């Protein structure tokens, strides 16, 4: 039996294992079983905490999607682990090591956590895309009656951001799934992609829904919210600091300048602890 914590950030939920004392290795099949909401614990992503080889008194985050695929970055999971580690170390700041590098995390007001998510990658070969193109206007033909003219951004993982006319909620789950599935596996994205649908509510407020690569529709996506903010700022349609409203609630995203890191602030929540036989 293996101990785990169940946590979530705005409903984007995780099963978190601690492998610092005893190593834990999970196959793709085991990950899928754990993530199954009927036969397992149920979650969007799984996180395994490992000893960091580069930083003292912190951890390396080994992250996987519900389908068993490897995950480079997950903002909501990083906030949750940051809260675990800051409580454990009794500090208000900590560095976490992730597949995309070391990220600085700190306490914010009202029990929230801020993560410096790194600088966005905007060049076609950094995202990566399969062909050279303008990442601010991806080369898809305009199709009436559906989302068009997306932006590509990498926050350590790829994102395809659509700004929609009218209310993003008019898409419904059917529309998010239809277009999310279509673009997640589009050949322009060799590593597949997360897909965001965005409505601009005000210069400092956007509403987004997300189809996460390897997980489907989720209540929130921290790296996706960062990518949305970067895309909106690059398009010149928002201010540099904004509220991003997701299905599960609000994140505050701040990209102070083009050469700065993107800061994400939001809540964390502990659901329960348990043991599972994998």
- Report, as residue numbers or ranges, the catalytic residues: 74, 221
CB hemisphere CA count around 82 (13 angstroms): 33
Query: DSSP state, 254?
Result: E
CA 206, CA 125: separation in Å to the nearest integer?
A: 28
Nearest to 209 by CA among 241, 243, 168: 168
CB 34 within 8 A of CB 278: yes
CB 262 within 8 A of CB 100: no
Residues 6+ apart with CB under 8 A from 201: 207, 245
Residues 6+ apart with CB under 8 A from 116: 103, 104, 105, 261, 262, 263
Q: For the beta carbon of residue 243, count every other beta carbon within 10 angstroms.
A: 16
Dihedral sign computed on CA atoms, order 234, 240, 201, 170: positive
CA 9, CA 15: separation in Å to the nearest integer?
A: 12
């Amino acid at each position: 039996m293996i101990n785990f914590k169940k946590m979530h950030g705005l409903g984007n939920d995780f099963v978190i294992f601690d492998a610092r004392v005893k190593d834990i290795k999970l196959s793709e099949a085991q990950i899928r079983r754990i993530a199954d909401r009927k036969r397992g614990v149920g979650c969007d992503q799984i996180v395994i905490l490992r000893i960091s080889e580069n930083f003292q008194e912190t951890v390396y985050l080994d992250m996987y999607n519900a389908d068993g695929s490897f995950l480079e970055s997950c903002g909501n999971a990083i906030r949750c682990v940051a809260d675990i580690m800051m409580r454990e170390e009794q500090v208000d700041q900590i560095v976490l090591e992730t597949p995309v590098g070391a990220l600085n995390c700190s306490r914010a007001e009202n029990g929230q956590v801020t993560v410096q998510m790194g600088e966005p990658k905007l060049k076609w070969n950094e995202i990566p895309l399969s062909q050279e193109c303008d990442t601010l206007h991806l080369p898809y033909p305009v199709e009436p009656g559906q989302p068009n003219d997306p932006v590509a951004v990498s926050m350590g993982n790829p994102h395809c951001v659509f700004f929609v006319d009218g209310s993003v909620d008019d898409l419904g789950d059917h529309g998010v799934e239809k277009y999310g599935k279509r673009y997640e596996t589009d050949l322009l994205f060799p590593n597949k992609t997360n897909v965001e649908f965005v409505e601009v509510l005000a210069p400092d407020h956007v509403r987004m829904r997300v189809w996460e690569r390897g997980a489907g529709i989720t209540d929130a996506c921290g790296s996706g919210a960062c990518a949305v903010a970067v895309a909106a700022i690059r398009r010149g349609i928002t201010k540099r600091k904004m509220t991003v409203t997701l299905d599960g609630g609000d994140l505050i995203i701040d990209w102070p300048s083009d050469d700065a890191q993107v800061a994400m602030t939001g809540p964390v929540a502990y659901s329960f602890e348990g043991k599972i036989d994998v």
